[in-house]
């Protein structure tokens, strides 16, 4: 039974996600209102172009290009425009007018989250962002609430649906990166500028958000190490598969101790990595996402599901709508973000991990010994070596695949530079980190 007044909901943006949110709100608004005990009324949808085609059939009278007037008359504002401006200005306006705000905008949260959370705290409003990481997967609320009493040690996540879709198509269908990206764009997974996906910016933004939540400390976006997937070749993906690995773009957030300074801190990084084909993350296909998390008391947890897509992401947004509406009915101020731990943020050079390096070498006596010496001179311990020899031809060659024990980024970089400079190595054809062993 509805006992509270109607809550006025303003929607900013009606693209892949916004159109589905509007459609579901219109279709299920009454039922959602009954869950909350308040009427939920979508009062308007602000867009850039009133004539643009929509992926859902929505009432024309709701559309406007006057976002500011819409915001000022709302109890709850949902921002699904994306990008920094005007989204940031609109969110500040909404919060300052006392509205609760819901956003899926990881780019904005990763760069201006602390300012927005501060405004929300000052005015007693709440900023919800379940859809900003992992699409439909509930991961923000579990980190903020369910695991708030535990100590998260490490997060290993596939948090970008587009790149997972691309790497999976390269692996399973043999597509090129370009073919798979075009399909991901057609399916609505990619950002408006897909460089955000393939160059790892989107995953880095999500890593900053996850790390800040998990470690109760603000992890700035520019402290997140980032490599995208543009340098990954079909040959690397196929060779990984033959050796019992899959290539995934991972976001890794962890507590660690710098091996040189002994400083204890946290780090966040995004890069392609080899994952054993038996690891749960290897079974994450298509545009799905998964967040594999290790906490001191809870142990290992995995959150899995659709990481991108309009209607899937709309589910997470609607969950936030229900939470915001419940808060209105109950009353009282919003809950502030927990970022007061102030833990040092460590750079990528503090990280140690395993590597798999592929070299093209001359197949003659002494080469293996020379290569092994270079590893040992830089303090990198070799775990396994595989050689595929090509004995035919005047100058026989071989491919050497070398797996290392854990080594620091700096030791590995120095080893790779030395390998590239020695005359017995004709090419360093692949250097990939190995995670999840």
Report, as residue numbers or ranges, the catalytic residues: 206
Asked if 159 and 134 touch (Cβ cutoff 8 Å), the reply is yes
**Distance (Å, whole) CA 245 – CA 347:** 27
Count Cβ atoms within 10 A of the Cβ of residue 260 and give its class: 0-12 exposed, 13-18 middle, 19 or more buried. exposed
Residues 303-342 that bind ligand HSE (CB under 6 A): 307-308
**Distance (Å, whole) CA 204 – CA 200:** 6
Asked if 435 and 353 touch (Cβ cutoff 8 Å), the reply is yes
Residues 43-62 that bind ligand NDP (CB under 6 A): 46-49, 52
Both tokens of 322, joined, read: 């229900």
Nearer to ligand HSE, 171 or 202 (CB): 202
- Taking contact as CB under 6 A, which single stretch among the options 8-16, 214-222, 330-338, 386-394 is the one that binds ligand NDP? 8-16
The size of the interface with ligand HSE (CB under 6 A), counted in residues, is 11
Residues 270-309 that bind ligand NDP (CB under 6 A): 308-309
Q: Kindly state the smallest distance separating residue 215's Cβ from ligand HSE, in Å.
A: 21
- Taking contact as CB under 6 A, which single stretch among the options 101-109, 318-326, 333-341, 399-407 is the one that binds ligand NDP? 101-109
| By CB under 6 A, residue 129 contacts ligand HSE | no
DSSP helix/strand/coil, 177: helix
Q: Could you tell which of ligand HSE, ligand NDP, none binds residue 197, using a CB distance below 5 to 8 A set by kind?
A: ligand HSE
Q: Kindly state the smallest distance separating residue 324's Cβ from ligand HSE, in Å.
A: 20
Ramachandran assignment for 199, one of left (phi > 0), alpha (psi -120 to 50 degrees), beta (any other): alpha
Q: Kindly state the smallest distance separating residue 252's Cβ from ligand NDP, in Å.
A: 21
| Strands lying side by side in the sheet with 127-128 | 63-64, 38-46, 4-12, 76-79, 100-103, 127-128
Both tokens of 407, joined, read: 């080594």
| By CB under 6 A, residue 79 contacts ligand HSE | no
**Distance (Å, whole) CA 387 – CA 360:** 10
Only one residue has tokens 């904005």, namely 108
Nearer to ligand HSE, 39 or 307 (CB): 307
Q: Could you say which of 190, 211, 232, 318 contacts ligand HSE (CB under 6 A)?
A: 190
Q: Could you tell which of ligand HSE, ligand NDP, none binds residue 160, using a CB distance below 5 to 8 A set by kind?
A: ligand HSE
Asked if 414 and 253 touch (Cβ cutoff 8 Å), the reply is no
- Mask: binding to ligand HSE, 191-230, rule CB under 6 A, as x and -? x-----x----x----------------------------
Q: Are strands 127-128 and 100-103 parallel, antiparallel or unpaired?
A: parallel
Please give the residue ranges that form the binding site for ligand HSE (CB under 6 A): 135, 160-162, 189-191, 197, 202, 307-308
């Amino acid at each position: 039974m509805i006992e509270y007044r109607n809550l006025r909901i303003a929607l900013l943006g009606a693209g892949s996600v916004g159109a589905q949110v509007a459609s579901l709100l219109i279709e299920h608004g009454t039922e959602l209102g009954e869950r909350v005990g308040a009427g939920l009324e979508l009062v308007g949808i602000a867009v850039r172009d009133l004539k643009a085609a929509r992926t859902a059939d929505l009432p024309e009278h709701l559309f406007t290009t006057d976002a500011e007037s819409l915001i000022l008359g709302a109890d709850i504002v949902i921002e699904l425009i994306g990008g920094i401006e005007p989204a940031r200005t609109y969110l500040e306006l909404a919060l300052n007018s006392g509205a609760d705000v819901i956003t899926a905008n990881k780019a904005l949260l990763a760069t201006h989250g602390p300012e927005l959370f501060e405004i929300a705290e000052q005015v007693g409003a709440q900023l919800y962002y379940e859809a900003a990481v992992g699409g439909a997967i509930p991961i923000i609320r579990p980190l903020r609430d369910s695991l708030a009493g535990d100590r998260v040690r490490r997060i290993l996540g596939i948090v970008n649906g587009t790149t997972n879709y691309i790497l999976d198509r390269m692996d399973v269908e043999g597509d090129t990166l370009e073919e798979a990206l075009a399909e991901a764009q057609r399916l609505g997974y990619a950002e408006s500028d897909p460089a955000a996906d393939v160059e790892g910016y989107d995953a880095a933004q999500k890593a900053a958000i996850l790390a800040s939540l998990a470690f109760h400390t603000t992890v700035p976006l520019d402290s997140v190490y980032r490599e995208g997937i543009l340098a990954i070749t079909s040959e690397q993906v196929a060779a990984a598969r033959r050796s019992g690995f899959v290539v995934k773009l991972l976001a890794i957030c962890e507590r660690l101790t710098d091996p040189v300074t002994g400083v204890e801190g946290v780090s966040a990084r995004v890069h392609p990595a080899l994952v054993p084909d038996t690891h749960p993350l290897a079974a994450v296909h298509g545009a799905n996402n998964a967040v594999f998390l290790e906490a001191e008391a809870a142990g290992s947890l995995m959150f899995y599901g659709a990481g991108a897509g309009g209607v899937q992401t709309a589910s997470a947004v609607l969950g936030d709508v229900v939470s915001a509406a419940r808060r209105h009915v109950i009353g009282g101020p919003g809950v502030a973000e927990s970022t007061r731990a102030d833990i040092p943020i460590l750079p990528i050079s503090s990280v140690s991990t395993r590597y798999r390096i592929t070299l093209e070498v001359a197949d003659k006596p002494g080469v293996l010994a020379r290569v092994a010496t270079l590893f040992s001179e830089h303090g990198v311990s070799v775990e396994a070596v595989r050689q595929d020899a090509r004995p035919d031809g005047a100058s026989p060659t071989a491919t050497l695949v070398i797996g290392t024990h854990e080594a620091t980024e700096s030791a590995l970089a120095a080893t790779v530079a030395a390998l590239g400079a020695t005359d017995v190595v004709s090419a360093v054809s692949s250097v990939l980190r190995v995670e999840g062993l």
